[in-house]
Structure 1
Amino acid sequence: MSTAATPVNVSAPLELEWEADNVNDQYYLYLHFNEVEELAANETRAFNITINGEFLYGPMTPRYRSADTILTTTPLTGAARYQVSLSKTKNSTLPPILNAIEVYKVKDFSQSETQQDDVDAIKNIKNAYGVARNWQGDPCGPLKYMWEGLNCSIDGYDPPRITSLNLSSSGLIGQIESSISKLTMLQYLDLSNNSLNGPLPDFLIQLHSLKVLNVGKNKLTGLVPSGLLERSKTKSLSLSVDDNSGLCTTKSCRKKSSHVPLIASISAIIVAILLISLGFWIFRRHK
């Protein structure tokens, strides 16, 4: 530390500042001092140190060729910007100096808990279907123990969100559980090869992040929601609905199925009339 910074205006304070990425971030500050000049008998250097106007230490009088460090013992937090000011005292003849500064940001390596709405939704799904998996604790963490069939978004800052749910071949019975609609960050949903019945619900359209939906090999009925078909056409959604005999992708398939009994009935009537007519003709001929 053979060099030091001083203010351009010798009567002004020496100021340094930085902006926080988040007001909840925590910082520790280290200031290093060493007098690099051998002062004359009539010279003095003394200054006070403040952070955002709050007194930290003073008066600071650096020692000649000896290092001193002033540090914060508790984290700095709660501000969008931090300003460190070194202001000379009234009796000081020389401006403040600073040889080095270190700012450390606290990094929390522990994983946050899964976002609560996602936790509630996946637990409701578990209870509704009686999922026979070892789903215990937090769905997304720790990462090593993430629930089977799930994938989550984990960035180290925001609470994890469930982005993928795979319940294929899980023995699911009943209708598609409405709690799935609460997994608003879901990108991948696989419910294939189960015994799900009833309609394909409209709430799936509201899952705007959904990119893959597989409900093949179930017992679903009714029309596939037009919103899902439209997204499938635009390639924004990979949609699989195969092997659901009662599920229609167009209105025409429903109309077609409703016409079959009518056509069969008309055909039966025509055959009956022909048989009666034939019998009557044979009877008259023999007579």
Structure 2
Amino acid sequence: MPNLQTLVVSNNDFSGDIPTRFLDSPALSVLDLSFNSFSGELPESIASCQKLVNLNLSHKQLTGEIPKSVARMSMLSVLDLSNNSFVGKIPDSFGSSPALETVNLSYNQLEGPFPDNGMLRTINANDLVGNDGLCGGVLKPCSNVRASSSARKKVHVRHIVFGFLFGVCVILTFGIAAFTGRWLYQRWFLYELQFHHQNLQVGNRF
């Protein structure tokens, strides 16, 4: 599709990987695939759309890391990757992208220090919300994130230990109960046997 300039297919029920044939459009300037069910990773070849100005891939099920090649798109002005499942760090080169004016990375699973360079210095914190592992820049200091992460790990370990000990206690309780019940039954059985034997002896005397 060499002459395709604008492609808007938002608010549909498309699924699967992003079709790579969209990326073979050198004249493409607007690509809006938002509010669909596309999944998989964003291909590095997205950077081949060098005339792309507006890229909206929000509200989907995209995973993996954000390709570093996105920062090399010299005309990209608006980038919306919000409400996906992107992981890893934000590429440091994002801030140096020459035309980038608006970035929305909210509600993903991004982590690590936020690049504090170029236009990213003035980014709105609301465009980063929902990424609990991100820190620095307009967000909370990274030391706080590491401390909270360490605290969560300690709580998780305590839960595991508590669960293990609780399980051991339950097993021991049932084991002791079963052993005690068996012992009591054997005592009762021997008592009944002796009592019955004594009655037989008394009856034989008469």
TM-score, length-normalised on structure 2? 0.48
Q: Which has the higher helix share?
A: 2
| RCO comparison, higher one (Cα < 8 Å, 6+) | 1
Q: Which has the higher strand share?
A: 1
